[in-house]
Amino acid sequence: MEHRRHEGLNNRAENSHQPTREWERRMRRFKSPGHAQRFLAAYGPIASHFRPRRHQLTAADYHQTRDQRFATWHAVTGLPVAA
């Protein structure tokens, strides 16, 4: 087995936050691959609507953007706003 020397490669905490690892963690919540696929097929197109790129915004801008996006979602779906 090859030992990798780069400082970040053997860091378990650092690797656990990679997008593929986070995706695997979310997938464990589903009972079957089919259930996960049905959910992700519906959720995928709207996921970025609710998750603005946080690292590009200040906290105040993030909150304002999030509130605007939820207002848009409620207007489109006709769902009442939860208090």
Chain segment 21-45, per-residue pLDDT in tens: 666 766 677 778 888 888 878 877 7
Residues 59 and 39 in one domain: no
Residue 4 lies in a domain: no
Residue 71 lies inside a defined structural domain of this protein: yes
Q: In which domain, by residue range, is 57 found? A: 52-83
- Residue burial 7-25, b: 16+ Cβ < 10 Å; e: rest: eeeeeeeeeeeeeeeeeee
* 3-class state of residue 19 by DSSP: helix
Residue 68, pLDDT > 80, answer: yes
Rounded Cα gap, residues 16 and 4, in angstroms: 17
Give the span between the Cα atoms of 4 and 6, in whole angstroms: 6
The reported pTM is: 0.46
Q: Are 37 and 64 members of one domain?
A: no
Q: Which residues, including other chains, have CB under 8 Å from residue 71's CB and lie 6 or more apart?
A: 81
For residue 35, tell me if it sits in a domain: yes
